[in-house]
């Protein structure tokens, strides 16, 4: 086997003229841990020769340093080319099954077929062989060119900056030691393959080179120096930083173990101080690779993501109400490395043992057993540990909160000086920051398969794959700016870079990073206000009340989770548990109401909030917000229902306190802001807030609540104008105009409601399409319309029926029937259910027959029944509903509580169904009373209990109210009638 001599010299120091032998065990040959190096060697050699020529006229980079850089290039090419070359190798003959049983190939594994495959790509034929994959070859060539440019730029910068670097270390006596080694590839590639490089000098000193401006890190270091001098907050280690304008240098920070328990406490106090600074500066992307546990000091080494906007600042809906304090990465968020089967906590400040992630690798390289496989690798660098035990920040909440409060109070005490023209905050005005428009792993998921199979051969196939990134919901409200952003993303992905966008905090514009990091691709104005102005306004308003309010929410988010006892309900589907004597609906409802109350976070007098684990990825533990399905609005409805059912004034008062934050915002004139921030939907938006206020008005006998709901209804045009962004489609019930119509339907009809309903109708009709057979649907960005209640035609049809009832618009009446016709075209007779267009393992309120049964019932009542079609649908849906118990999930949205609630609302159409409902409930009472409901959070280690209506304990209690006192149970799964509030 012929291997290029130059590349071998880099890795083996082989004597020129002597061809090295390939040994029987490739693991004994270090360069062969890079798959297909023998095939890729000509590309690497040519790149190394180009680098030699490029460096000849400028800064000198010694051979050992080039060796490290060359190895990084070879590894990157192997990573990119490996899947395509593996597929080509396996096309002729499948790998034997036994190969997958070995971590390392035995010595007797044959290698002849691989030798022949590689031999065909050696010497003069190498270029011809790679010509079988022209798209792959083009990208590999460009990566080599980018590598030469990046290493040349490093050498030039090192040469020009050497005098300034020399003063950083007195031992150097004015002369920087020679570069002994380079380790590129320590960050995602941006702007032409540029990455962070670890630089090892001849005396062993290591420094970081970054191919971007480090003005933000320099300004942060100045702020830390100021804070340390103030002496009233935890002191921080300040690594040296040198900003070079388009590049920079930084002290290399190594992890150092904590000495003892007292040191761990001090470390977590400093984490609380950093959390406070990220709260002030709106920092993000602080993960375990960016926060180094350097002994007693947590040190942030990457601060490009400061001054981050909320979605609302970019003109899209923000249903989590700007949770940047909880989302910056210092505190736990939950992510998944197995496609969502399990969720694992991740916190830069420490979340216990880190879950590994699977990585696709070429297994048994150099043998006939070569194939792609997965191996577990560390998901991130280890966080802080004491001895051998990884620390969990939730076990140090007191220390974190002490550091957080002390730091914020120091900032408040000196806010005038900080915001002065020459103050520490002003140093951030013009720094270059990065605007995050997608998670890095989204780009990685798009790129991973792009060069496999046809994508390696056909440019159109490659382009179609990377274009999938453009199918996500817009994150910029300005359509023109979003189109420019997507075009810039496409250019970056085309060269296998991770797209990046930058901005300056004192302006409203943003740019794409292209052409080696220069801002050559403007997106235009994307911010509602300059981020710097937002930060200074927040600092000006910061006071002890705000600090205390924020601290109480943080304490709840950091509350160490109680261990949940095992459920009593059998795990096997179809197995019926026995009822537990002594428990009844009232006792269980009382237990659930008390649990919801215990989870409340008391803030200023008369005000309650909750925190919860949100379903989006990454999943945040953050405030629940004012919405109906997941937030305080729905919790308030349940507490009011339970208070009336149990005749408990305490619960009624808690319901008032739950609605108080929303009402206070309305009374401050913030209804327009709420409409723009949360959007129109029923789940987390204006529609659900209106419904919650109206239902509480009836249950609490307080008409003022309904008047507040009307104040929100007035802002319907603003809510409908907002692009829904990351939360979903602009028409459906949960996130769109249909959900706003649901909420408006709970109010008394009047001019305001009629006008708002008409606007919803106009929006729904404009967003719809008709098919060839007279059906009407609401397509998503890359799919046809769905069936179902929460996101599909059934829910939108019921909204149109409500709009017709309020406005008399005949177009909405006709469109509702057309939506039913479209949905029925999606019926699957074999399953007895409607296809949802999504993976559907069960039939629930949100997707499938249960929700459709509820919708058909309302439509029959409001529209009549043409030709008995709705009655036939209802008959089919009820049969599926009754035959489909949901033994593994209990919640109202996707579980058994929702199924039983639907049955309970349809008792007049199903004689005898009460016994069926009560039998199912009786098997669950013991679990529900003890807090063992099968909720989404139950299987998420360390997640807080969920009080929410649609996903948590409140939903279970709502069902019990329905059975105990149906007159007090609101129609939360589908509003059916006007709430008569005088």
Chain centroid, CA 837 distance in Å: 22
Tokens 């104040």 correspond to 711
Q: How far apart are the first and last CA of the chain?
A: 90
3-state secondary structure (DSSP) of residue 288: coil
429 secondary structure, DSSP code = T
For 230, the enclosing helix (H) or strand (E) is helix 215-230
Structure tokens at 92: 């002729």
- Which residues lie closer than 8 Å to 227 by C-beta, 6 or more apart? 233, 235, 236, 273, 277, 407, 410
Cis amide prior to 32 (ω within 30 degrees): no
Q: How many CB atoms lie within 10 A of CB 364?
A: 23
Cα–Cα distance for residue pair 403/273, rounded to 1 Å: 5
Q: Is there a binding annotation on residue 760?
A: no
Q: Is there a binding annotation on residue 893?
A: yes
Cα–Cα distance for residue pair 872/866, rounded to 1 Å: 11
56 secondary structure, DSSP code = H
Structure tokens at 878: 């009820």
437 secondary structure, DSSP code = S
Q: How far is CA 636 from CA 404, 610, 669, 739, 959, in A?
A: 31, 11, 22, 19, 15
Q: How many CB atoms lie within 10 A of CB 438?
A: 17
What does the buried/exposed string (b/e) look like for 445-468 if buried means 16 or more CB atoms within 10 Å of the residue's CB? Answer: ebbeebbbbebbbeeebbeebbeb
Cα–Cα distance for residue pair 535/494, rounded to 1 Å: 36
315 secondary structure, DSSP code = T
602 secondary structure, DSSP code = E
Beta-bridge partner residues of 181: 200
Q: How far is CA 519 from CA 212, 420, 434, 503, 510, in A?
A: 11, 29, 12, 9, 9
What is the number of alpha carbons within 13 Å of residue 802 lying toward its C-beta?
34
Task: Output the DSSP codes for 639-693.
Answer: HHHHHHHHT-HHHHHHHHHHHHHHHHHHHTT-HHHHHHHH-S-SSSSHHHHHHHH
Yes or no: say if 704 and 651 are a contact pair by the CB < 8 Å rule.
no
Yes or no: say if 940 and 950 are a contact pair by the CB < 8 Å rule.
no
Classify 701 in phi/psi space as left (phi over 0), alpha (psi -120 to 50) or beta. left
Q: In what order do the strands lie in the sheet with 344-346?
A: 344-346, 333-335, 619-623, 611-613
* Burial of 577 from C-beta contacts in 10 A (0-12 / 13-18 / 19+): middle
Question: Cα Rg for the chain, rounded, in angstroms?
Answer: 31
What is the number of alpha carbons within 13 Å of residue 409 lying toward its C-beta?
14
> Binding site membership: which residues?
846, 893
> Binding site membership for Zn(2+): which residues?
846, 893
């Amino acid at each position: 086997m012929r291997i290029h001599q130059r590349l071998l010299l880099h890795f083996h120091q082989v004597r020129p003229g002597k061809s090295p032998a390939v040994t029987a065990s490739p693991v004994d040959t270090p360069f062969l841990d890079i798959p297909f190096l023998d095939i890729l060697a000509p590309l690497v050699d040519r790149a190394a020769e180009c680098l030699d020529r490029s460096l000849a006229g400028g800064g000198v980079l010694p051979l050992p340093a080039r060796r490290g850089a060359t190895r990084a290039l070879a590894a990157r090419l192997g990573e990119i080319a490996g899947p395509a070359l593996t597929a080509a190798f396996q096309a002729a003959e499948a790998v034997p099954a036994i190969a997958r049983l070995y971590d390392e190939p035995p010595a007797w594994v044959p290698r002849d077929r691989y030798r022949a495959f590689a031999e065909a790509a050696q010497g003069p034929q190498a270029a011809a062989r790679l010509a079988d994959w022209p798209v792959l070859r083009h990208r590999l060539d460009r990566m080599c060119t980018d590598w030469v440019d990046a290493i040349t730029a490093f050498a030039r910068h090192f040469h020009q900056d050497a005098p300034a670097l020399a003063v950083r270390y007195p031992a150097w006596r004015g002369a920087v030691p020679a570069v002994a080694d380079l380790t590129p590839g320590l960050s995602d590639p941006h702007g032409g393959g540029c990455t962070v490089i670890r630089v090892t000098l001849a005396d062993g000193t290591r420094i970081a080179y970054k191919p971007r401006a480090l003005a933000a890190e320099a300004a942060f270091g100045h702020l830390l120096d100021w804070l340390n001098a103030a002496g009233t907050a935890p002191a921080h280690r300040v690594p040296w930083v040198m900003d070079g304008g388009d590049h920079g240098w930084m002290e290399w920070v190594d992890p150092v173990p904590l000495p003892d328990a007292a040191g761990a406490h001090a470390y977590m106090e400093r984490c609380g101080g950093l959390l406070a600074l990220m709260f002030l500066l709106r920092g993000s992307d602080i993960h375990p690779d960016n926060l180094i546990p350097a002994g007693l000091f947590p040190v942030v080494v990457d601060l490009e993501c400061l001054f981050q906007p909320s979605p609302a600042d970019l003109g899209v809906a923000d249903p989590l109400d700007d949770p940047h304090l909880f989302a910056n990465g210092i505190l736990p968020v939950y992510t998944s490395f197995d496609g969502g089967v399990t969720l694992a906590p991740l916190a830069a400040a420490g979340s216990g043992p880190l879950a590994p992630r699977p990585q696709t690798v070429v297994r048994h390289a150099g043998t006939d057993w070569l194939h792609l496989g997965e191996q577990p690798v560390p998901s991130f660098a280890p966080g802080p540990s004491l001895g051998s035990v990884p620390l969990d920040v939730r076990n140090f909440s007191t220390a974190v909160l002490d550091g957080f409060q002390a730091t914020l109070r120091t900032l408040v005490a000196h806010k005038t000086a900080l915001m002065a023209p020459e103050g520490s905050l002003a140093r951030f005005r013009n720094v270059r920051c990065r605007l995050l428009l997608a998670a890095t792993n989204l780009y990685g998921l798009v790129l991973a398969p792009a060069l496999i199979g046809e994508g390696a051969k056909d440019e159109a196939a490659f382009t179609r794959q990377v274009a999938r990134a453009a199918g996500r919901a817009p994150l910029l409200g300005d359509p023109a700016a979003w189109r420019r952003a997507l075009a810039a993303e496409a250019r970056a992905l085309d060269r296998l870079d991770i797209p990046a966008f930058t901005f300056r905090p004192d302006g409203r514009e943003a740019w794409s990073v292209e052409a080696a990091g220069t801002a050559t691709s403007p997106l235009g104005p994307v911010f509602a206000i300059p981020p710097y102005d937002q930060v200074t306004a927040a600092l000006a308003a910061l006071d002890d009340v705000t600090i205390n309010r924020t601290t109480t929410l943080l304490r709840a988010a950091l509350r160490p989770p109680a261990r949940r006892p095992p459920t009593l309900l059998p795990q096997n589907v179809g197995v019926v548990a026995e009822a537990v004597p002594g428990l009844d609906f009232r006792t269980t409802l009382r237990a659930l109401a008390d649990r919801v109350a215990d989870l409340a976070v008391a803030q200023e007098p008369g005000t309650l909030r909750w925190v919860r684990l949100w379903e989006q990825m990454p999943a945040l533990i953050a405030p629940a917000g004012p919405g109906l399905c997941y937030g305080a609005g729905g919790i308030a409805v349940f507490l009011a229902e339970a208070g009336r059912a149990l005749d408990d004034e305490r619960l009624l008062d808690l319901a008032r306190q739950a609605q108080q934050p929303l009402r206070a915002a309305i009374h401050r004139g913030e209804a327009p802001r709420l409409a723009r921030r949360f959007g129109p939907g029923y789940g987390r938006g204006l529609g659900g807030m209106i419904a919650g206020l109206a239902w509480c008005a009836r249950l609490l006998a307080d008409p003022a609540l309904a008047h507040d709901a009307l104040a929100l209804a007035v802002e319907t045009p603003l809510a409908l104008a907002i692009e829904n962004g990351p939360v979903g489609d602009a028409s459906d019930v949960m996130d769109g105009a249909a959900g706003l119509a649901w909420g408006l339907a709970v109010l008394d009809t009047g001019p305001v409601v009629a006008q708002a309903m008409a606007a919803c109708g106009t929006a729904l009709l404009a967003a719809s399409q008709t098919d060839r057979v007279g059906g009407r649907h609401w397509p998503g960005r890359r799919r046809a319309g769905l069936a179902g209640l929460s996101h599909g035609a059934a829910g939108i049809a019921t909204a149109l029926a409500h709009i017709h009832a309020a406005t008399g618009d005949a177009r909405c009446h006709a469109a509702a029937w057309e939506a039913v016709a479209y949905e029925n075209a999606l019926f699957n007779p074999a399953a007895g259910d409607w296809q949802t267009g999504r993976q559907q393992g069960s039939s629930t309120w949100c997707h499938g027959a249960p929700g459709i049964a509820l919708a058909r019932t309302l439509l029959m009542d409001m529209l009549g029944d043409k030709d008995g079609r709705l009655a036939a649908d209802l008959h089919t849906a009820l049969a599926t509903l009754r035959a489909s118990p949901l033994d593994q999930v209990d919640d109202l949205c996707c579980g058994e509580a929702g199924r039983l609630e639907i049955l309970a609302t349809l008792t007049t159409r199903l004689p005898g169904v009460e016994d069926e409902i009560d039998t199912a409930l009786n098997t669950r009472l013991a679990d529900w009373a003890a807090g063992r409901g099968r909720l989404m959070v139950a299987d998420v280690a360390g997640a807080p209990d969920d009080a929410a209506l649609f996903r948590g304990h409140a939903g279970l209690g709502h069902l019990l109210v329905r059975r105990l006192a149906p007159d007090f149970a609101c129609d939360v799964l589908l509003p059916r009638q006007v709430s008569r509030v005088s």
